């Protein structure tokens, strides 16, 4: 940021402490800022809008909203609410009722910064603007979808928050499920609030409620030694789940969602694995088994996309060699000027655009999907810091235990590395379990 711009911004910033019991000083500071803005802009006070941002635990929202309402800060206001949106289905519904008691739904912005990332929005452009991908974006061409969000950091002073939340509530019901929605949606036909929300809601409606027997929970060694963590805590810091979507496009295609703390490295990756074309007369040089083609999307601030391909190796024999097509949007569009996720989303709040925000219906449906795991939690398995990581691309073993029945509970193999030495796996069958 330029110094002159930063200076003008900083001189407008003030700080006040407040509590759910007394918001008087906060209200006075807001009124003073509004008067100054109205005078500087030459507008009436009624033209000044308020942006309220709540980043508090779900159990604190009711008292905070009540305080804001009592001191009349809810007038002319848009409310931004950070996840988690409740801790289960019942509390999510209670939270929605609390928000609705003081704000209209059109003024509530449930924020998930993953959706604000350029790379996530680019999923829509990549798929629907390219004839190369959309015809193959279905169960006939795709073998599996993997969504991996490992984090290198630990809970790092957030022990109290994590004890009341855990990885499933913190990451899966929000970030990872939203990524799943963007991968799985049907053509929304427009990039606007109603169209995008309707398409995501339809996709989430087809998601089968999770089977606790197809979920792995893990906890990194040393978590119980973190500040504000119980010495006998069974809170999960790693989750791997198997998701099925029961519609014509995705029936029979497993989605693998994995996230955890204290991993070897931090990444945000979506891997679309395509089915094997099964032309057995075409073999890699050396006779090894050919690997499936994969489309790998790195959800970094500077999006990168890679596509595995096979071609003939130069020489007299018909032998295959694997190559990679890469698209580096930061390099190919150097003057584009992407916004950081929160920048984009806060700008949308000021514009009143809720296209990239989560609806109440989405929140409720995702809790319905995850509720079976909350009701029947898998056992928590321990893992060393930095061992279960994502040093390379996820490649689940071929066949995926096709000849065997799913285990009663995911085995410790759910926390082992795959054959590329990379990601934790959920042991799964090649066809969806019927239970």
pLDDT of residue 309: 82
Do 332 and 265 lie in one domain? The reply is yes
For 426, the token pair is: 């959920």
CA R_g for the chain: 24
pLDDT at 318: 77
pLDDT confidence bin for 333, thresholds 50/70/90: low
Task: Choose the final residue of a domain: 69, 90, 111.
Answer: 111
Active site residues: 175
Answer yes or no: do 300 and 377 share one domain.
yes
The chain-wide mean pLDDT, for the chain, equals 85
**Residue 353 belongs to some domain of the structure:** no
> What is the arithmetic mean of pLDDT over 370-394?
78
154 and 96 in one domain?
no
Question: Domain total for the chain?
Answer: 2
What confidence score (pLDDT) does residue 418 get? Answer: 39
CA distances to 268, 271, 301, 362 from 297, in Å: 8, 6, 12, 24
Region 7-19 average pLDDT:
88
Does residue 354 sit within a domain?
Answer: no
Please indicate, yes or no, whether residues 268 and 131 belong to a single structural domain of this protein: yes
Per-residue pLDDT, 399: 31
Within a domain: 221 = yes
With beta carbons less than 8 A apart as the criterion, state whether 140 and 276 touch.
Answer: no
Q: How far apart are CA 219 and CA 233, in angstroms?
A: 9
pLDDT above 90 (res 141) = yes
Token reading at 169: 């509530």
Residues with Cβ < 8 Å from 391, sequence gap 6 or more?
A: 264, 265, 421, 422
Q: Are residues 169 and 48 in the same domain?
A: no
Instruction: Check whether residue 292 and residue 377 sit in a common domain.
Output: yes
pLDDT 10s digits, 199-252: 999 999 999 999 999 999 999 999 999 999 999 999 999 999 999 999 999 999
Same domain for 166 and 72: no
Q: Are 17 and 25 in contact (CB under 8 A)?
A: yes
Higher per-residue confidence, 121 vs 279: 121
pLDDT greater at residue 19 or residue 186 = 186
The first and second tokens of residue 256, run together, are 């693998």
Whether residue 43 lies inside any domain: the answer is: yes
| HEC string for the chain | CCHHHHHHHHCCCCCCCCCCCCCHHHHHHHHHHHHHHHHHHCCCHHHCCEEEEECCCHHHHHHHHHHHHHCCCCCCEEEEEECCCCCCHHHHHHHHHHHHHHCCHHHEEEECCCCCCHHHHHHHHHHHCCCCCHHHCCCCCEEEEEEEEECCCCCCCCHHHHHCCHHHHHHHHHHHHHHHHHHHCCCCCCCCHHHHHHHHHHHHHCECCCCHHHEEEEEECCHHHCCCCCCCCCCCCEEEEEECECCCCCCCCCEEEEEECCCCCCCCEEEEEECCCCCCCCEECCCCCCCCCEEEEECCCCCEEEEEEEEECCCCCCEEEEEEEEEEHHHHCCCCCCCCHHHHHHHHHHHCCCCCCECHHHHHHHHHHHHHHHHCCCCEEEECCCCCCCCCCCCCCCCCCCCCCCCCCCCHHHHCCCCCCCCCCCCCCCCCCCC
- pLDDT at 223 (0 to 100): 96
Whether 263 maps to a domain, the answer reads yes
Q: What is the pLDDT of residues 294-312, one digit of tens each?
A: 999 988 766 788 888 877 7
CATH of the domain at 86: 3.40.50.720
387 pLDDT tier (thresholds 50, 70, 90): low
The verdict on 86 and 199 lying in the same domain is no
- On whether both 94 and 125 belong to a single domain, the answer is no
Show which of 111, 141, 168 is a domain's final residue: 111
Q: Which of 111, 145, 178 is the last residue of a domain?
A: 111
Residues 397-415 have pLDDT tens digits of 333 222 222 233 333 334 4
d(CA 253, CA 130): 22
Q: Do 355 and 73 form a contact (C-beta atoms < 8 A)?
A: no
* Cα gap 156→178, rounded to integer Å: 25
- Give the per-residue pLDDT at 291: 75
CATH code, domain carrying 202: 3.30.360.10
Residues 260, 376, single domain; the answer is: yes
What is the reported pLDDT for 415?
43
The larger pLDDT score, comparing residue 272 to residue 279, is at 272
Asked if residue 98 belongs to a domain, the reply is yes
Residue 351 lies in a domain: no
Same domain as 308, residue 167: yes
Regarding whether 123 and 96 lie in a shared domain, the answer is no
Phi-psi region of 229 (alpha: psi -120 to 50; beta: other; left: phi over 0): beta
How do strand 380-383 and strand 215-220 relate by DSSP bridges?
parallel
Tell me what the mean pLDDT of segment 34-51 comes to.
92
For 319-331, what is the mean pLDDT?
Answer: 76
Residue 214 domain-assigned? yes
Least confident of 55-69, 266-280, 282-296, 301-315: 282-296
Helix 360-375 with 89-102: angle, nearest 10 deg: 150
Alpha-carbon span 277 to 309, nearest angstrom: 12
- Domain of residue 34 covers 3-111
pLDDT at 324 over 90: no
């Amino acid at each position: 940021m330029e110094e002159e711009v930063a200076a003008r911004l900083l001189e407008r910033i003030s700080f006040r402490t407040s509590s759910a019991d007394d918001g008087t000083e906060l209200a006075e500071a807001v009124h003073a800022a509004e008067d100054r803005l109205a005078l500087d802009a030459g507008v009436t006070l009624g033209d000044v809008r308020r942006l309220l941002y709540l980043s508090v635990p779900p159990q604190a929202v009711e008292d905070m909203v009540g305080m804001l309402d009592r001191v009349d800060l809810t007038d002319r206001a848009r409310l931004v609410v950070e996840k988690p949106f409740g801790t289960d289905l019942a509390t999510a519904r209670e939270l929605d009722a609390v928000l609705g008691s003081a704000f209209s739904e059109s003024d509530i912005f449930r924020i998930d910064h993953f959706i604000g990332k350029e790379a996530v929005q680019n999923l829509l452009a990549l798929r629907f603007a390219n004839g190369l991908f959309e015809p193959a974006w279905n169960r006939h061409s795709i073998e599996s979808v993997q969504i991996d969000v490992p984090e290198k950091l630990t809970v790092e002073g957030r022990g109290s928050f994590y004890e009341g939340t855990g990885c499933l509530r913190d990451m899966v019901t929000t970030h990872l499920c939203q990524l799943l929605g963007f991968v799985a949606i049907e053509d929304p036909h427009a990039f606007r609030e109603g169209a995008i929300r309707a398409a995501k809601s339809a996709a989430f409606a087809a998601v089968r409620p999770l089977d606790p027997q197809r979920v792995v929970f893990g906890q990194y060694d040393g978590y119980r030694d973190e500040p504000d963590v119980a010495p006998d805590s069974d809170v999960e810091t790693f989750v791997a789940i198997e998701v099925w979507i029961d519609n014509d496009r995705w029936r029979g295609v497993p989605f693998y969602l994995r996230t955890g703390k204290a991993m070897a490295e931090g990444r945000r990756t979506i891997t679309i694995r395509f089915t094997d074309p099964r032309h057995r007369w075409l073999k890699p040089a050396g006779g090894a088994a050919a690997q499936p083609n994969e489309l790998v999307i790195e959800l970094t601030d500077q999006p990168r996309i890679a596509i595995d391909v096979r071609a003939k190796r130069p020489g007299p024999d018909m032998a295959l060699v694997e190559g990679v097509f890469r698209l580096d949007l930061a390099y190919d569009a150097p003057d584009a000027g992407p916004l950081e996720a929160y920048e984009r989303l806060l700008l949308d709040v000021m514009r009143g655009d809720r296209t990239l925000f989560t609806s109440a219906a989405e929140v409720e449906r995702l809790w319905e999907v995850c509720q079976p795991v909350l009701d029947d939690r898998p056992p928590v398995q321990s893992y060393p810091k930095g061992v279960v990581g994502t040093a390379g691309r996820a490649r689940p073993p071929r066949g995926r235990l096709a000849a065997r029945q799913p285990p009663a509970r995911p085995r410790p193999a759910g926390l082992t590395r795959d054959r590329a030495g990379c990601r934790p796996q959920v042991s799964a069958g090649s066809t969806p379990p019927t239970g």
